[in-house]
Amino acid sequence: MATIIVGMADWKVAKGSDILTTLGLGSCVGVTFWDKAKGIGGMGHFMLPSSEGYTNQNRAKFADTCIQDLLVAITRAGAVRANLVAKIAGGAHMFSGAGAGNVLKVGERNAAVAKEILAELKIPLLANDTGGTHGRTIELNIGDGKLKIRTVGFGEKFV
């Protein structure tokens, strides 16, 4: 069993009994895919909701391209798209202050876009731990599909 770190603006795919983890989800969102039948999972950690208007950027930085690229990678690794289920966490409101309108509600927008994309892709969203004002760290156990969520000030839970 190996623990594989997924960095910010990154995604990874793993098999068997490996664990995928990402640290420091504030306004960022961690999205996971899991295929129980094939024992394959994937995790992405994106920072912004849309790649529109950006060129020559890391595609994993944006919800739209990160989720699409992760889907391609996990199916290339042998997962069956019809078997996939998703879980997401993060999307906290980490910035406040006067005039903190939509520009600073990045976390809320990240979570909303992730849900929209998963619905469009017809991938069931089994767990959603988003929002609030606290950071999270997540671990996806590829062996059983459980997502451990450690939340600053709130402990940990499994979904």
CB-based contacts of 44, cutoff 8 Å, min separation 6: 6, 10, 11, 30, 31, 32, 60, 66, 67, 69, 70
pLDDT digits (tens, 9 = 90+) for 4-22: 999 999 999 999 999 999 9
Per-residue model confidence (pLDDT) at position 14? 98
Give pLDDT tens digits for 121-131: 999 999 999 99
- For 26, the token pair is 């504030």
Identify which of 8, 28, 32 has the alpha carbon closest to the alpha carbon of residue 20.
32
Annotated catalytic residues are 28
Q: What is the pTM of this model?
A: 0.95
pLDDT, tens digit, 9 for 90 and up, residues 34-58: 999 999 999 999 999 999 999 999 9
Dihedral (CA of 7, 85, 90, 145) sign: negative
Predicted pLDDT of residue 97: 56
Rounded Cα distance, 74 and 148, in Å: 20
Alpha carbon distance 146, 135 (integer Å): 19
> What's residue 98's pLDDT?
47
Mean residue pLDDT across the chain: 94
pLDDT band at 94 (very low <50, low <70, confident <90, very high): confident
**Which domains are delineated in the chain?**
3-158 (3.30.1330.200)
Of the pLDDT bands very low, low, confident and very high (cuts 50, 70, 90), residue 1 is confident
pLDDT at 145 over 90: yes
**Interval 51-72 mean pLDDT:** 96
